[in-house]
Chains A and B, each alone.
Chain A
Amino acid sequence: MAPSEAIGAARLEALLAGDAPRTTDEARRAALLAQLRGATLGAPEALRARVLAVAPVRRRAFAPRPSRRLVFAVIPAAFAVAVAVAAALVHGLTTGSGSRTVRGAAITTVSHGVAPSVKRPANPPTFSTARGAPSAGGLQSSPSPTLDFAQPAQSALAPAGAANRLQHTDASLQVRVPDVEHLSSATRAATRIATSLGGYAQSIDYQTPQGGNGAAFIELRVPAQNVQRALARLAGLGTLASQEVSVKDLEHALQVESEQVAQLRRRVAALQQALADPALPDAQRVLLQIRLAESKRALAQRLHARKGTVSAGTTARISLVLRTERSVVTPAPPRGRTGRMLHSALGFLGLEGTAALYGLIVLSPLAVLAAFAWLLTRLRRRRDEQRLLAA
């Protein structure tokens, strides 16, 4: 008898399920299946006893362990996210509470050619940092936590550092002017103000695109002792939209650098004195000369750094933006301690995200290679199994 012709998969499934055969071939196949199913084979008693000996009778509550995929992928990922968020929160707690940036917004109306008049804002700006609070990072808060509206607003807004300390002041102002003509004259006036106070304009970016609006971005350097006056006069160039002043204390850095300079100078002197000894062996002389050269180089570096610190402390940087636009960017309301903390934490979280993305980009080729190797290994193993079972 010839073997059955091809029986479709669906019919074979039906025959396996006990469906009645429709053709002779199917009947033959069904008979074969019945013969196979009729065969019996029970496990030997010895095997049964051996297996059941290790099997506990106690029922277990159904509590499956998490799958390996979960253990190896999801849990580490969740842990990494939790660590990142915790790090961001810690960063926010440690740095957010000590922010020394002083923000203030004056609602002042300045008429050109007319003496400035000050209007009291609906919500007087307040400074969130405590007066004279020492800063962990060397910054110092504004000494005027509240505004005195009896005085001109411009001078009241500008925080003044301690006169006897070396401090770097960094200020940015946004001033609104009515039109392009005023923008031009205000730009020139800003340069004159800086010059008259002993400073200079480092850069001027003057933009007057079509449409009647324009802006000038001016970077000014003024002596530290004149920064208050400069801010007051610059604010008077138009309507002050926002002002941000940060003061960084450089006293500690200067002290450290001075100590290092003194120490290096002492070392240089000692080395020079030692080298003046004619009885010094040649080998030791060479060694001392090398050390002297290193010390001199380090001294030059420290002196340069100290010069930079002193320069930063004696010169304030003012970024002035003059705009003709109606809608000048409204300054962010002063944040409380929690707000600053959250802001700092979010910033740090963003930084972490950037770093993670960077790492992902760098590592992705390796991950692809690893996945490829894993697939290759799996394929090879599968072929090996097929070869074994096909023999």
Chain B
Amino acid sequence: MTIGRRRAVPQDVHAVSTTLDAPSARAAAPSFAEVAADQLDAVYRYLVLLTGDRSAAEDLAAETFEKAFRTWRRFDPRRGSPRTWLCQIARTSAIDWFRAEARRKRREETYSRDLEHATELLDGLPGPLEQAVRGLSPAEREVVALRVLLELDGPSAARVLGISQTACSTRLSRALKNLEERIDDGPE
């Protein structure tokens, strides 16, 4: 029988058990390996959609988990889920990557990495939808990834993006509408 006082937890915290006979919260904290194994796919998907580049996403995912491992002791599950925390770290890495890409793009006259000819973003996406997703801006792809693919709730996604919840919701609406328009327009 479970006897205990339930505490308010974020919606995207996956497992919460507060019972008298259960292990205490200190002992129930997951190991970093467990968190990494659980969240790796989600973080990778997020980075693929954000950068539009699978190989870059792989590097960034690895970098993200290295950073996360270094700051693992600072992670406080009371302030957010591991997924939110990892996405925040991943986003910082991705923005650095975008900066580096922009510098490189300015340096070189031709942009060597042509997204149009890159490998497909996600497995199982219909062709028109794949093309439509590619046509979105990184900011729009990012919000779609967080809210739809990773199923983060509004506050968590807003926290990752560093914007208000309303702005996050607006951005998602705009991205989805943009997707629909691009699907309707078909490949150009």
A interface residues (Cβ-Cβ under 8 A, vs B): 1-4, 6-7, 9, 12-13, 16, 28-29, 32-33, 35-44, 46-48, 50-52, 54-65, 67, 382, 384-386, 388-391
Check B83 for interface membership: any CB of A closer than 8 A: no
Q: B93 to nearest A CB, angstroms?
A: 13
- Give chain B's interface residue range (CB within 8 Å of chain A): 35 or more
In angstroms, Cα B176 to Cα A107, docked, is: 92
Instruction: Give 27 pairs: A residue, B residue, CB < 8 Å, sorted on A.
Output: A1-B184, A4-B177, A9-B173, A12-B172, A33-B148, A36-B149, A38-B124, A39-B125, A41-B41, A43-B41, A47-B40, A52-B33, A52-B36, A54-B65, A55-B33, A55-B37, A55-B69, A56-B32, A59-B29, A60-B29, A61-B29, A62-B26, A62-B77, A65-B74, A388-B102, A391-B102, A391-B138
Q: B130 to nearest A CB, angstroms?
A: 9
Check B126 for interface membership: any CB of A closer than 8 A: yes
Choose from A51, A59, A384 the contact partner of B40 (Cβ within 8 Å). A51
In angstroms, Cα B184 to Cα A172, docked, is: 98
Q: Are B31 and A52 in contact (CB under 8 A)?
A: no
In angstroms, Cα B125 to Cα A138, docked, is: 92
Choose from A32, A47, A388 the contact partner of B44 (Cβ within 8 Å). A47
Q: Are A389 and B177 in contact (CB under 8 A)?
A: no
Q: Which residue of B lies closest to A378 (CB)?
A: B162
Q: Which residue of B lies closest to A9 (CB)?
A: B169
In angstroms, Cα B69 to Cα A58, docked, is: 12
CB interface residues, B 1-44, toward A, < 8 Å: 25-27, 29-37, 40-41, 44
Q: A68 to nearest B CB, angstroms?
A: 9
In angstroms, Cα B169 to Cα A16, docked, is: 11
Q: Which residue of B lies closest to A37 (CB)?
A: B148
Residues of A within 8 A of B135 (CB): none
Q: Are A64 and B74 in contact (CB under 8 A)?
A: yes
Residues of A within 8 A of B129 (CB): 32, 35-36
Choose from B123, B137, B169, B179 the contact partner of A41 (Cβ within 8 Å). B123
In angstroms, Cα B69 to Cα A47, docked, is: 15
Residues of B within 8 A of A390 (CB): 137-139
- Determine chain B's interface SS by DSSP, over half rule: helix
Choose from A41, A51, A56 the contact partner of B122 (Cβ within 8 Å). A41
Residues of B within 8 A of A386 (CB): 139
Check B159 for interface membership: any CB of A closer than 8 A: no
Residues of A within 8 A of B26 (CB): 61-63
In angstroms, Cα B180 to Cα A6, docked, is: 12
Q: Are A389 and B29 in contact (CB under 8 A)?
A: no
The 3 nearest A-B residue pairs measured at CB: A389-B139, A39-B122, A55-B33
Q: Which residue of B lies closest to A387 (CB)?
A: B102
In angstroms, Cα B72 to Cα A61, docked, is: 11
Residues of B within 8 A of A62 (CB): 25-26, 29, 77
Q: Are A35 and B29 in contact (CB under 8 A)?
A: no
Check B61 for interface membership: any CB of A closer than 8 A: yes
A-B contacts besides A36-B125, A59-B27, A388-B102, 20 pairs, CB < 8 Å: A12-B169, A16-B151, A32-B180, A35-B129, A37-B149, A41-B45, A41-B123, A42-B41, A47-B44, A47-B58, A55-B35, A55-B37, A62-B26, A64-B73, A64-B74, A64-B78, A384-B99, A388-B95, A388-B99, A389-B138
Check B48 for interface membership: any CB of A closer than 8 A: yes
Q: Are B172 and A59 in contact (CB under 8 A)?
A: no
In the complex, per-residue mask of B111-154: 1 if CB is within 8 Å of any chain A CB, else 0: 00000000001111110010001000111001010011101001
Q: Which residue of B lies closest to A15 (CB)?
A: B176
In angstroms, Cα B184 to Cα A342, docked, is: 82
In angstroms, Cα B172 to Cα A389, docked, is: 14
In the complex, per-residue mask of B49-77: 1 if CB is within 8 Å of any chain A CB, else 0: 00000000010011001100100111111
